[in-house]
């Protein structure tokens, strides 16, 4: 059981990393207001880190909630089968 939970935890973390990376990429490529760039034209790594962190946390929290609801539904279905 412990290995299964670790496996699901790693999948959720990878989903968060994917979400953060995807939205950071989209922000840098399509940043029409140039908020990802400094006045000198260089990339603002602090702002990029903040954006990545926000989307990583949001993606991870949403994945944890979805996984929790999924587990509750599965347990409810298993419990109803045994009645």
- Tens digit of each residue's pLDDT (9 = 90 or more) over 17-76: 999 999 999 999 987 788 898 989 898 999 999 999 999 999 999 999 999 899 889 888
The per-residue pLDDT for 1 is 64
Asked if residues 53 and 23 have their Cβ atoms less than 8 Å apart, the reply is no
The domain locations on the chain are 2-81
CA 57 to each of CA 4, 21, 33, 44, 83: distance values in angstroms, whole numbers, following the listed order: 22, 12, 24, 20, 39
pTM: 0.80
């Amino acid at each position: 059981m412990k290995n299964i939970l670790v496996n699901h935890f790693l999948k959720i973390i990878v989903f968060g990393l994917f979400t953060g990376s995807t939205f950071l990429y989209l922000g840098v490529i399509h940043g029409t207001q140039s908020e990802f760039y400094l006045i000198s034209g260089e990339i603002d790594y602090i702002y990029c880190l903040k954006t990545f962190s926000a989307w990583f946390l949001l993606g991870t929290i949403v994945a944890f909630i979805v996984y929790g609801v999924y587990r509750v539904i599965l347990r409810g279905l298993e419990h109803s089968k045994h009645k």
